Structure 1
Amino acid sequence: MTLVRRLARPCIAGIFISGGLDQLRAPQTKSEKADPVAQPITKALPWLPEDTETLVRVNGAVQVGAGALLALGKLPRLSALALAASLVPTTAAGHAFWSAPDGATRAAQRTQFLKNLSILGGLLLAAVDTAGDPSLAWRAKHAAKDVSRATRSARRATAAAPTRVLKAVA
């Protein structure tokens, strides 16, 4: 693992571990803001708990768990995806600057919204980071090319074989 990855992953993960612990300890402080976002999500995903306070706790647990894994470099791509998935509804619920009552609050919430959007970008980069190894898509594409080349070569060899046999007999 490069030095940049060793430093960047805990830097990104820290905010999630801290925020997730806060959600686990005091979900009621977040559930009122989360309710307008949580209800449509629970309708779309019926396997999630319907109670907003429980949903906030689940979100906090995901953030703590995935944040710790990312910080430690364990399952970094999967943990980055989990954090990205938890960040989207958290941002929509907590930083809805478009519905802020006054200009100062709107500006502060817009800044927090854009900060979270920036973190989301970092998480998406972490989710596709293969640490220098070729991605599965690259490997599959090149394996398909290798098979195609081998097939063409085998066809040519097979097509030329009867001619060689006839020449050898004559």
Structure 2
Amino acid sequence: MSLTRLLARPMLAAVFVADGVDALRHPDAHAARFRKVAPLLEKVGVPPVLTSDATMLTRVGGGVTTVAGLMLATGRKPRTAALVLALVNVPLTVVNNPVWEARGKEQRKELTRGLLRGVGLGGGLVLAAADRNGKPSITWRMSNYKDHRAQIRQAKASVKDRYTA
């Protein structure tokens, strides 16, 4: 593992681990923010069953975020952990930064900054999820394998033709 990955993964994961632990220990503040956007989520089509118990949903989200963040930080299944965090990051960013509810120019600026910060973290997570640690993609490996097998078949046929003629 490169030094960059060794340092960058825990740095990226730290935000999510801290937020996840806070959601587990103090779910009320997180649930209150969620309750503010619950009507909007229901308008969009999220079933009310998913939004009925905000505290439990907050704790589950906090647990998932904490575990995935620790996995990313320690390098255990980092691509899967980064993908999970990226998927969880989208609703968290929207819930924590409701720009449409801003009252005043300063509050709108602050919420927009938070929204952009969340989008930036999401971009970093997508990059971490796509990082193959220097290894080529499965598509390239399969193509290379097929090419290699074709070359071997051609070489065998050439040798066979030379000695049978």
* TM-score for the superposition, normalised by structure 2: 0.81
Q: Answer with 1 or 2: which has the greater Rg.
A: 1
Corresponding residue SS for 2:136: coil
After alignment, is 76-85 or 21-30 more displaced?
A: 21-30
The verdict on how the C-alpha distance between 1:101 and 1:144 changes in structure 2, with shifts beyond 3 A counting, is farther
**Equivalent residues, number:** 159
> Paired residue for 1:34?
34
Which of residues 108, 117, 120 is equivalent to 2:119? 117
Moved segments of 4+, more than 6 Å: none
Q: CA deviation at 1:28?
A: 1.7
2:94 is equivalent to residue 97 of structure 1:
no
> Paired residue for 2:47?
43
> Paired residue for 2:139?
137
Q: CA deviation at 1:142?
A: 2.5
Distance 1:53 1:10 in 2: 28
The CA RMSD over aligned residues, in Å, is: 2.8
Q: CA deviation at 1:141?
A: 3.0
Q: CA deviation at 1:143?
A: 2.7
Q: CA deviation at 1:54?
A: 1.0
The verdict on how the C-alpha distance between 1:42 and 1:147 changes in structure 2, with shifts beyond 3 A counting, is farther
Distance 2:45 2:60 in 1: 13
Identity of aligned residues (%): 35
Map 1:81-92 onto structure 2 (within 5 A). Answer: 81-92=83-94
* TM-score for the superposition, normalised by structure 1: 0.79
Query: Is 1:83–1:123's contact at 8 Å kept on the other side of the alignment?
Result: yes
Corresponding residue SS for 1:137: helix
> Paired residue for 2:24?
24
